[in-house]
């Protein structure tokens, strides 16, 4: 592995609604992503149902995650761990400022 560096707050040219950058990945489906969402929402009727757990934190902007049991609003500093196969979707994200996420994914057995 080589040393890599960057800045989580570096500007992103707006994509249609979401930019995903894999910062690190490794054995066992572990990966770290920086996600910048501009007024993004999951398509109607779409639910994530992932084989891996996910830690997600909001570093800037805001969002609302929806689960089969309800919604949670996320503001800067808020984080949540979503177990493998917990159905969820992005109900909304802010546009100005865009929602800046830090997401870490890992094996379902090691949550």
pLDDT > 70 in the chain, percent: 91
57 domain residue, yes or no: yes
List the CATH number of the domain containing 71. 2.60.120.10
46 domain residue, yes or no: yes
1 domain residue, yes or no: no
35 domain residue, yes or no: yes
- Mean pLDDT for each 10-residue chunk of the chain (111 residues)? 87 78 78 93 95 95 97 98 96 94 82 46
Q: Could you tell me how many residues make up the chain? A: 111
5 domain residue, yes or no: no
H-run or E-run covering 23: strand 18-25
Residue position matching structure tokens 């609302």: 64
CA distances for 78 relative to 4, 35, 108, 109, angstroms: 26, 15, 22, 24
Range of the domain at 82: 18-110
- Give yes or no for a contact between 44 and 18, defined as CB atoms under 8 angstroms apart: no
12 domain residue, yes or no: no
Q: For the segment 5-34, what is each residue's pLDDT rounded down to a tens digit?
A: 999 998 887 667 888 888 888 766 589 999
Q: What is the pTM of this model?
A: 0.86
In 13-86, which residue ranges form alpha helices assigned H by DSSP? none
49 domain residue, yes or no: yes
């Amino acid at each position: 592995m080589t040393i890599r560096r960057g800045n989580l707050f570096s500007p992103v040219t707006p994509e249609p609604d979401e930019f995903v950058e894999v910062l690190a990945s490794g054995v066992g489906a572990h990966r770290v992503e920086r996600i910048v969402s501009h007024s993004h929402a999951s398509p109607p009727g779409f639910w994530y149902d992932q084989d891996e757990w996910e830690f997600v934190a909001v570093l800037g902007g805001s969002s609302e995650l929806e689960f089969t049991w309800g919604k949670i609003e996320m503001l800067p500093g808020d984080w949540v761990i979503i177990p493998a196969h917990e159905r969820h979707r992005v109900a909304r994200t802010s546009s100005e400022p865009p929602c800046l996420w830090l997401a870490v994914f890992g094996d379902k057995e090691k949550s």
